[in-house]
Structures are given as structure tokens and as C-alpha cells.
């Protein structure tokens, strides 16, 4: 097995395991928060956190993605340096880009904090329809700055390929939310919401910075001739802000349409269905931002390495996602009541269909990272715009068959996006999909279709027996592929 392939498989399973652990911890935290705060407290906490996240994502101009690219390329050059002079030069280049990122990180953190204070009263009116929470948003403003600093230091760790540290921090952040929040909520109840958010964001910043500064000592510059070099990073990051607005806007439009055509209950079922598939898909797709994107950014200018890396990532995802989709399809009657409640049983038919989209995403996501890693802002915006437009198929599907139609619309949307991105990757980056990929896709899609038919019409022991057999077949195919690569 090639070293690169082993690394991809190791990283994907590492972050998959970490994500699984994080999901369990989050379930425990959610349960405690609900018990200690009640619905009103949970709602208040959710509004403050979502507003903080929105301001953070807007004011940090996509730094968590755009900042990775230059540092990754500098790190890759350092890894391939052959003599002392070249090593010294590469180290200076790496130091320059990390200093640049951290300098902008501080300024964007202060900017986010200032914007939160400036908009405190309008935010209070918008989210609570009163001015009573203006002070709350002012007090919350440092948490926006903390989030931006944490984000910047995670970028440094990703670009330097500190995968084990990133995995550890991902879990520690979730644990911190549990350790910090629960005692505060226990003693102060709903009054502890803002202190808990502040203490959590501060502690995660200190924790992340400690690991990041240990990897590369902090240096900050305030000279404009140095900061000016970061403008391309901000330009690429601005694309993330635009695409984020487009995606959130389309999601809001879909939710509003379903609410208008039916009611809030139907919107809740619709969101629950995607939450289930999204949560379990994240077990394997989490490694894309933490490992794959930094690696691809580092070798983006080498066509052979670039295409090999993308194809290998697709192979690993297909190998892991294939059996996962069948397991999820079969286990839905158990998972829905366990994770949600019996009131959500009606979402099972839609969720079974949307699972097909997860399989297509294993092809789409690695290819969609190419324009991002290459810094092709216009092409990246084009891809994201097409993806946003195809999401309208969810509305078309819902108008014909309600939730089941919405699920079919989502799958068709993902399939169209996959075809489009493969065509773009073929034309602009000469990406070639091998016959092996095609065979893997056909096999896993065929097994998933057969499993869908069996689970749709069988019940009792026949349902579980046939589902187990299909899961075993899918796992064997993935294992055979793994052995073929060994």
C-alpha cells in the first residue's frame, strides 16, 4: 500500500473516531443542558451561540479555509527542501505566512468584537424583539474575538499537518463545553448562559493557542507592507462569506417554503432527516478540512500528485461510506426513536432516500476542494453557485411528494453537483476517474438500491437478516478493495 494511501485512510478513520466520540459527548451535554436550563434556557443559549457564530464567520472572512493554503504550500516546500540554504529559505517563508495569518487573526478578532458591540441593540431587536438583551450582546462580544483567534490557530495546526493534535483538540473542545457549562448552569441556571459561553470560548482559545504556539512561536507584525501580502487570503476568504450567505439563504428559503405549504412540524421533520444523515456522514467527511485540504493545497501545483491525492481520497471515502450508508439505512428504525423520539418516525422514508446523496458526496467533496486549494476564486464561486441553484430541486420534489419528494430532490441535486464538479475538474485540472472508481460506485450504489428495496418491503426477521447480509457484502467489497491496494 502506498504511503499516501495509508495516510489518507489513517487520517479519515482517526477523525471519524474522534467525531463519533464528540457526538456521544454532545448528546450527554445536550441532555444535561436541557435538564438544567429548560426550554427557555436552551432557546436563549441557542440564540446567543448562533448569533456569535454568525458574526464570527462573517468577520473572520473565511480565514479557517483561505488561511490554510499559503502555509500548506510553504510547509510542503520545506518538507521537500534538499540543502541547508533551501531549508533556511523555506523556514523563513513558512514563518512569514504564519506571522501574516496571526497578525490578520488579531485584527479580525478585534473587528468582530467591535461589530458585535456596535450592533448589540439591533441584534437584540432582531433576535428578541426588544432592547433588553443589548447588554447581553455587549458582554458576549469578547467571545467573538476568542472564536476568531481559536479558528486562526487551528488553521496553523492544520497547515502544519498536526493531525493528532487537531484530533485531540477537537475532543477537548467538546469536553470543555461540558466541563465549563454544566457547573455554571447548575449554580446559576439561565443567568449563567453568557458567562458559560465566555468561559468556554476563552478556555478553548487558551488551549488551542498553547498547542499552536508550541508548534510555532507567535510573532505579530503591524507593518502594512507585510500585512498587504495577506490580501489574496482575504479575497479568497470573502468568497466563503458570499457562498455561506447563498447556502444559508437557500436553506432559509426552503424552510420558509415548507412552513408556508405545511407547518412548523413538517419543517422540523425535514430538518431532522438531514441532521441524521449529516451527523453520520461527518464521521468520514470531517477529515476533508483537517487533513485532505491542507495536503492538497501543498501539492496543488504538481498535476500528478494533485490528481493522485484526489483519487485516493475518493477511494478511501467510497470504501468507508459504502458500508456506512447501508448500516444507516437498515438501522434507521432504531436510530430515529433513540436519537430523537417516536414523533419523528415519519421522517424515515425521506431519510432512506437522502442516504443515497451521502454516497455521491464521497465523489463530489474531494473534487470540489480543487478550486479552493488552487485559489481559483471565480471557479470556486461558480461551483458553489451551481450547488446553491440545484438545491432548489428540493422545493420541486417537495411540491410533488412532500418529504419523500424533498429527499429525492436532495439526492438529484447532489448527483447533478457531482457530474458538474467532475466535468469542471476534468477540464481545468485534468482529473481522471479510473475504471476502478466507476466499478466501486456502481457496486455500492447497486447494493444500496437493493438494500433500500428490501428494507422498504420486508419486516421482522426478514428485514434484519437481509439488511445484515447486504452490510456484510458491502463490507467485503470494501475489504477486497483495501487488500487490492495493499
Work out the end-to-end distance of the chain between its first and last CA atoms, rounded to an integer number of angstroms: 4
CA distances from 47 to 99, 144, 151, 193, 224 (A): 34, 14, 21, 11, 37
CB atoms within 10 A of CB 130: 9
CA angle 315, 81, 231 (to 5 degrees): 75
C-alpha grid cell, residue 98: 504564519
Residue closest to 33 by CA, chosen among 200, 202, 189? 189
Domain ranges of the chain: 16-222, 233-486
Residue closest to 440 by CA, chosen among 327, 280, 322? 322
Angle, nearest 10°, between helix axes 134-159 and 3-59?
160
Per-residue pLDDT 10s for the chain (486 aa) are 444 556 666 666 666 666 666 666 766 676 677 677 776 776 677 678 778 887 887 888 777 677 777 788 888 778 777 778 888 888 888 888 888 888 888 989 999 999 999 999 988 887 777 888 899 999 999 999 999 999 889 888 888 878 788 888 888 888 888 888 889 988 888 888 899 999 999 999 999 999 998 877 877 777 777 677 767 777 766 777 777 777 767 776 787 777 777 765 677 677 777 767 776 776 667 666 667 777 787 788 888 888 888 888 888 888 888 888 999 899 888 877 776 667 777 888 888 999 998 888 888 888 988 888 887 888 888 888 899 899 899 999 988 888 889 889 999 999 999 999 999 999 998 888 877 778 888 888 899 999 999 988 888 899 999 999 999 999 888 887 777 665
Question: Residue 68's pLDDT is what?
Answer: 77
SS3 for 299? coil
CA distances from 274 to 11, 75, 200, 258, 388 (A): 25, 37, 28, 14, 16
pTM above 0.95, yes or no: no
- Residue-wise burial string across 65-82, b where 16 or more C-beta atoms lie within 10 A, e elsewhere: bbbbbbbbbbbbbbeeee
C-alpha grid cell, residue 166: 487537531
Question: Residue 120's pLDDT is what?
Answer: 92
Question: How would you class 331 by CB atoms within 10 Å of its CB: exposed for 0-12, middle for 13-18, buried for 19 or more?
Answer: middle
What letter does residue 128 receive in the DSSP assignment? H
Residue closest to 387 by CA, chosen among 414, 365, 422? 414
H or E stretch at 243: helix 231-261
Residue owning grid cell 432592547: 131
Q: What is the rounded distance in angstroms from the CA atom of residue 104 to the CA atom of residue 99?
A: 9
Q: What is the rounded distance in angstroms from the CA atom of residue 24 to the CA atom of residue 174?
A: 10
The alpha carbon of residue 117 and the mean position of all alpha carbons in its chain are separated, in whole angstroms, by 28
Question: Residue 1's pLDDT is what?
Answer: 40
SS3 for 375? coil
Amino acid at each position: 500500500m502506498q504511503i499516501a494511501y495509508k495516510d489518507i485512510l489513517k487520517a479519515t478513520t482517526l477523525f471519524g473516531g474522534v467525531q463519533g466520540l464528540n457526538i456521544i459527548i454532545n448528546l450527554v451535554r445536550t441532555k444535561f443542558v436541557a435538564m438544567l436550563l429548560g426550554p427557555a434556557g436552551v432557546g436563549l443559549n441557542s440564540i446567543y451561540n448562533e448569533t456569535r457564530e454568525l458574526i464570527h464567520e462573517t468577520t473572520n472572512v473565511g480565514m479557517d479555509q483561505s488561511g490554510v493554503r499559503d502555509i500548506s504550500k510553504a510547509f510542503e516546500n520545506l518538507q521537500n527542501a534538499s540543502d541547508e540554504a533551501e531549508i533556511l529559505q523555506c523556514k523563513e517563508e513558512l514563518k512569514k505566512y504564519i506571522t501574516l495569518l496571526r497578525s490578520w487573526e488579531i485584527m479580525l478578532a478585534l473587528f468582530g468584537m467591535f461589530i458585535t458591540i456596535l450592533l448589540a441593540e439591533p441584534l437584540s431587536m432582531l433576535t428578541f424583539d426588544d432592547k433588553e438583551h443589548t447588554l447581553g450582546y455587549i458582554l458576549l462580544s469578547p467571545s467573538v474575538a476568542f472564536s476568531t483567534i481559536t479558528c486562526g490557530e487551528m488553521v496553523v495546526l492544520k497547515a502544519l499537518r498536526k493531525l493528532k493534535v487537531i484530533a485531540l483538540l477537537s475532543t477537548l473542545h467538546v469536553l470543555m463545553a461540558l466541563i465549563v457549562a454544566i457547573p455554571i448552569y447548575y449554580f446559576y441556571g439561565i443567568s449563567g448562559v453568557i458567562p458559560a459561553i465566555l468561559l468556554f470560548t476563552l478556555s478553548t482559545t487558551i488551549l488551542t493557542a498553547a498547542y499552536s504556539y508550541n508548534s510555532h512561536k507567535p510573532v505579530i507584525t503591524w507593518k502594512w507592507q507585510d500585512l498587504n501580502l495577506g490580501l489574496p487570503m482575504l479575497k479568497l476568504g470573502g468568497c466563503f462569506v458570499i457562498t455561506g450567505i447563498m447556502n444559508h439563504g437557500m436553506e432559509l428559503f426552503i424552510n420558509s417554503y415548507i412552513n408556508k405549504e405545511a407547518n412548523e412540524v413538517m419543517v422540523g421533520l425535514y430538518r431532522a432527516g438531514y441532521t441524521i444523515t449529516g451527523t453520520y456522514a461527518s464521521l468520514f467527511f470531517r477529515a476533508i478540512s483537517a487533513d485532505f485540504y491542507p495536503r492538497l493545497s501543498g501539492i496543488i501545483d504538481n498535476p500528478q500528485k494533485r490528481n493522485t491525492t484526489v483519487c485516493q481520497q475518493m477511494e478511501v471515502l467510497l470504501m468507508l461510506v459504502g458500508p456506512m450508508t447501508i448500516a444507516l439505512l437498515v438501522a434507521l428504525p432504531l436510530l430515529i426513536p433513540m436519537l430523537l423520539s417516536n414523533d419523528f418516525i415519519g421522517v424515515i422514508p425521506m431519510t432512506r432516500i437522502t442516504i443515497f446523496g451521502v454516497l455521491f458526496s464521497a465523489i463530489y467533496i474531494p473534487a470540489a476542494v480543487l478550486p479552493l486549494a488552487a485559489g481559483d476564486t471565480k471557479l470556486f464561486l461558480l461551483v458553489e453557485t451551481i450547488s446553491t441553484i440545484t438545491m432548489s430541486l428540493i422545493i420541486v420534489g417537495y411540491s410533488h411528494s412532500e418529504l419523500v419528494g424533498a429527499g429525492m430532490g436532495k439526492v438529484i441535486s447532489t448527483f447533478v453537483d457531482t457530474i458538474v464538479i467532475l466535468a469542471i475538474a476534468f477540464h481545468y485540472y485534468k482529473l481522471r476517474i479510473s475504471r476502478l472508481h466507476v466499478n466501486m460506485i456502481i457496486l455500492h450504489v447497486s447494493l444500496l438500491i437493493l438494500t433500500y428495496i428490501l428494507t422498504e418491503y420486508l419486516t421482522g426477521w426478514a428485514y434484519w437478516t437481509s439488511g445484515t447480509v447486504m452490510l456484510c457484502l458491502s463490507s467485503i467489497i470494501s475489504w477486497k478493495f483495501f487488500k487490492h491496494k495493499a
